[in-house]
Structure 1
Amino acid sequence: MIGRRPRRVLVLGGARSGKSRFAEQRLHRVRGVEYVACGAVPDGSDAEWTDRVGLHRARRPASWRTVETVDLAAVLGRPGPPVLVDCLTTWLARTMDDCGIWTGAPDADARLAAAVDALVDAWAGTRRRVTAVSNEVGGGIVPATASGRRFRDEMGALNARMAARADRVWLLTAGIPQRLR
């Protein structure tokens, strides 16, 4: 990495740790960033979510283009400007829903594994400059529900796989960035 800009950067942290703001600041001088929002589009039914998304939107430069999708493999597979993915946690939550994990669909586990594999492969092979934000969920309390534990375990495994293929990894704790790689 000496003398080269890292192509794949993973930014990890807990809730409200400053990870999104840190990732945005890394790209603030780039005019043509493709900002990929993986969370649900606010529909007004959840005021807190609407406010949270509004704060993220207000921080973005007007020159950045927002893409709301969970098809990250397609985004990473095509040429284009630098990408900021915010965030892998909402991507995983939506993907688990879409695969039928919570409804017990017969092929849910296989569909989830395929989606995660496709994302990790696209991350490893992308030619684009990408910064991905994700929640570090393994350092907290053990979730009280089986679904909470399943999500935590899947998130930890995804983070580990993405970090293994990242050029640089950052961890934010209490707003303080620490470079892990």
Structure 2
Amino acid sequence: MPKHILVIGPTRSGKSQWAEDLANKLDSQVIYVATAIENPADFQWQNRIKKHRDRRPAHWETLSTPYDLIKVINKTMPPCCLLIDSLGTWVANRLDENDEEWDYVVTDLFKCIEKTSVKLIFVAEETGWGVVPAYPLGRLFRDRLGYIVSKLGNIVDTTYLVIGGHVVNLSILGQKIQTNQY
């Protein structure tokens, strides 16, 4: 099993379930890192979170980590595996950071990923396949997440695309490209 994995795809594609299936095959303790912020007033959001919880094995530990992803990665020790779901939600939680703050966070994120000996499985949305968002905040989200996914795809061992009811191993079928700053 690869050390670091990235699972990407559109909304409701099954990417989280595929990542969970991969984690289940590991001979490691799995810690599910939930980046969502719970909102009891939003019934639909709470229902989505409940479906994710109900699908996971009961023996998995769950950490609610809407902001401090870097701290969690840095403090976790092997033989644990962190299943981080999702990078899109984590990016959305941090949209209020200015470009300088954001660049600092992203640099730290990639430094900690490269040095950790913990297995990491990332789940991330693919957002850039449609029209350009009409609003600045939507464009900022799409650009920040797109950059992270592109760069992460170059440093993980395996990248899977979950789409149209299929899983495609991009690391076998694809070729890595150089990622530039967004």
Query: Structure 1 counterpart of 2:36, which letter?
Result: G
Aligned to 1:66: 62
Aligned to 1:105: none
Structure 2: 5+ residue stretches without partners: 172-182
Give the C-alpha shift of residue 169 in structure 1: 0.3
Output the CA distance in 1 between the equivalents of 2:37 and 2:9. 20
Aligned 8 A contact 1:19 1:175 in 2: no
Moved over 2 A (4+): 29-32
Please state whether the residue corresponding to 2:133 is helix, strand or coil: coil
Query: Structure 2 counterpart of 1:94, which letter?
Result: N
Structure 1: 5+ residue stretches without partners: 100-107
Determine what percentage of the aligned residue pairs are the same residue. 35
- Higher mean C-alpha displacement, 6-15 vs 24-33: 24-33
Aligned to 1:172: 162
Give the C-alpha shift of residue 126 in structure 1: 1.4
Output the CA distance in 2 between the equivalents of 1:114 and 1:129. 23
Give the total of aligned pairs: 167
Select which of 126, 143, 154 maps to 2:144: 154
Select which of 39, 47, 50 maps to 1:51: 47
Give the C-alpha shift of residue 8 in structure 1: 0.6
Aligned to 1:137: 127
Select which of 16, 20, 23 maps to 1:24: 20
Aligned to 2:110: 120
- Higher mean C-alpha displacement, 75-84 vs 14-23: 75-84
Query: Structure 1 counterpart of 2:40, which letter?
Result: G
Aligned to 1:40: 37
Output the CA distance in 1 between the equivalents of 2:32 and 2:40. 22
Q: TM-score, normalised by structure 2?
A: 0.87
Q: CA RMSD in A?
A: 1.3
Output the CA distance in 2 between the equivalents of 1:145 and 1:175. 31
Q: TM-score, normalised by structure 1?
A: 0.88
